[in-house]
Structure 1
Amino acid sequence: MTSRNASHAGSWYSDSKPELSRQLDNWLGAAELSHGPARAIIAPHAGYTYCGACGAYAYRQVSPAVVKRIFILGPSHHVRLRGCALSIANKYKTPLYDLKIDAQINAQLEKTGHFSWMDMKTDEDEHSIEMHLPYIAKVMEDFKDQFTIVPILVGSLNPDQEALYGDLLAPYLNDPQNLFVVSSDFCHWGQRFGYTYYEKSCGSIHKSIEKLDKEGMDIIETLSPTTFTEYLRKYSNTICGRHPIGVLLNCIKVMQKQGYNMSFKFLKYAQSSQCRDMNDSSVSYASGSLLFES
């Protein structure tokens, strides 16, 4: 058995099972169930001190009793990747319990010829997938032997590639027993990120950042991949999970053509700090949920 270690435990989140469990329970308890049961969620992947409370709003919409398989789409932060890659591990360790990887689905995806494999170092270095594992383990703990995960590392895709992966993954989104977790932070603002877009008419810098993020969030709620691509081209907003979001929007587009009605709603927005001058920096976080309308 090849296990991926919880390499960010003890730094980005607690490696103590009781403490981590209590934190997650508290955050989930403070979030309202208002747009569930989710078929897909968008949630952040920073350290839990920054975004743990925000992430709970997405995970609160999950109905664990119906979920049998969880696809986790995370952007690649450390390696150049032109497509998407799967994990060679059999399980992912978390401080709560181990999560089993779905070898059958990995084999199906590999057969398409459009997926490569992460090496273990790439897998363990990447936080965009790992930061979701404790939340998944927590919301699924009553059914911990009854579900599998499908981690997918998403590279720098062009719009045609986002559409291709949307086509490939749409049949899985169509299955009500599957949940898609799309991992993304929003604006990374400041000189250290090389991004200092500022609309002075907003007043404070943090208000300008919020306006920029909210415009992107509103577009995601329209479920239009092309409009989201145009928004990114216009503002170059540093949304690190823009490609996983693009893949999800293209999955949804395929489903809409088949006559399905869906609605996406953002439920929480937060910033790591409030930028007031050009030497400040912050990262934004947003949590939302996709519903299939009956």
Structure 2
Amino acid sequence: MSIRKTVVAGSFYPNEKDEILRYINHFNSFEDTDETFEDIKAIIVPHAGYIYSGYTANLAYKKASLKSYKRVVVIGPSHNVYLKGASVALYDEYETPLGNLSIDKEFSQYLIDKYDFLDFNIECEFEHSTEVQVPFIKHYFGDVEIVEIIYGEIDYKEISKIIDEVLNSSVNLVVISTDLSHFYTLEEANNLDGFFLSAVQNKNLDLFNSCEACGKVGVKALINWAIQNRYESKLLHYCTSADVSKDKNRVVGYTSALIGR
């Protein structure tokens, strides 16, 4: 049996089950926002260490978990490997400290066979943008099947085709992973991230040209899908690393959002 092993457990998030649950219970101890949809099709979540962006991500997962899904498709940018197109994981299972998840290899292979910009690149197994999502998925959705897609140089319209394919079925949830601006002052980060937040909230593709985000292509693809299919967006939370580190000179931004009706 092939397993996509954890590579950032113990750094981005704890490598012990009890520690992860302690984080999630802590996040859920705060008063929640009422913003949600009856039918959530996709969520946008950050992928930094849980200490920085876990609360923000958890909000989206908690709201999405009110509905049951058969399959969760996680889409994130490649940080370590240059690739054209995108890689779809073809392992049997995905390791997490909360217990392994089954990878839907049949559906993953179907996507690779159908779209010529998809393949399986084993070097992408070191990607954290998707991995940090998996403990949340395991916690909130139990034994759901997972599909991992990591993209490199690719047009957002190509990813939109994948999202359209996935969301043709009501049993699927799409997770788009991104952080926002990196290493600006707090004031500069808030300004740049404001364009991103407005682009998501108002479903304005042009505004993505004025912001920075490592997963911008994936988010733009999702918003493009939402526009075409008449779904709405709701921002849940925005924060920066300065909220935790108190360093306002080199800031990273984080947000979470819902797509649904």
Matches within 5 A, 1:168-247: 168-190=162-184, 205-225=185-205, 227-228=206-207, 231-232=208-209, 235=210, 237-247=211-221
Match of 1:200 in 2: none
Match of 1:165 in 2: 159
Match of 1:61 in 2: 63
Match of 1:140 in 2: 141
Aligned-pair CA distance for 1:34: 2.5
Aligned-pair CA distance for 1:90: 1.2
Letter in 1 for 2:236: L
- Cα deviation per residue 1:33-69 (whole Å; 9 max; x = unaligned)? 5213421111100111111111112112213542111
Percent of aligned pairs with the same amino acid: 27
1:42 and 2:22 aligned: no
Structure 2 residue matching 1:60: 3-state secondary structure = helix
Match of 1:116 in 2: 119
Aligned-pair CA distance for 1:28: 3.2
Match of 1:73 in 2: 75
Any unmatched runs of 5+ in structure 2? Answer: none
* Residues 118 and 33 (structure 1), Cα distance of their counterparts in 2 relative to 1, 3 Å cut: farther
Letter in 1 for 2:83: L
Q: State how many pairs are aligned.
A: 255
* Residues 49 and 275 (structure 1), Cα distance of their counterparts in 2 relative to 1, 3 Å cut: closer
Aligned-pair CA distance for 1:207: 3.0
Any unmatched runs of 5+ in structure 1? Answer: 191-204, 256-260
Match of 1:155 in 2: 152
Contact 1:33 1:61 in 2 (8 A): no
Aligned-pair CA distance for 1:118: 1.9
Contact 1:170 1:254 in 2 (8 A): no
- Cα deviation per residue 1:101-156 (whole Å; 9 max; x = unaligned)? 1112112211122211121x421x11000010111111113xx2xx2111100112
Match of 1:197 in 2: none
User: Taking structure 2 as the reference length, what is the TM-score of the superposition?
Assistant: 0.90
1:248 and 2:242 aligned: no
* Larger CA Rg, structure 1 vs 2: 1
Coordinate RMSD, CA, aligned: 1.8
1:2 and 2:32 aligned: no
Q: Within 2, Cα distance between the matches of 1:188 and 1:43?
A: 16
- Cα deviation per residue 1:15-42 (whole Å; 9 max; x = unaligned)? 1111211211221343435213421111
- Cα deviation per residue 1:161-189 (whole Å; 9 max; x = unaligned)? 32133124313223221111000000102
Aligned-pair CA distance for 1:263: 1.0
Letter in 1 for 2:192: L
Q: Within 1, Cα distance between the matches of 2:82 and 2:255?
A: 25
Letter in 1 for 2:131: E
Contact 2:87 2:150 in 1 (8 A): yes
Q: Within 2, Cα distance between the matches of 1:284 and 1:36?
A: 24
Aligned-pair CA distance for 1:93: 0.5
Structure 2 residue matching 1:41: 3-state secondary structure = strand
Aligned-pair CA distance for 1:242: 0.6
Match of 2:95 among 93, 96, 99: 93
Q: Within 1, Cα distance between the matches of 2:161 and 2:124?
A: 26
Q: Within 1, Cα distance between the matches of 2:43 and 2:163?
A: 15
Match of 1:290 in 2: 259
Contact 1:173 1:251 in 2 (8 A): no
Match of 2:250 among 281, 284, 294: 281
Structure 2 residue matching 1:23: 3-state secondary structure = helix
Match of 1:269 among 238, 257, 260: 238
Structure 2 residue matching 1:110: 3-state secondary structure = helix
* Residues 110 and 222 (structure 1), Cα distance of their counterparts in 2 relative to 1, 3 Å cut: same
Q: Within 1, Cα distance between the matches of 2:117 and 2:227?
A: 20
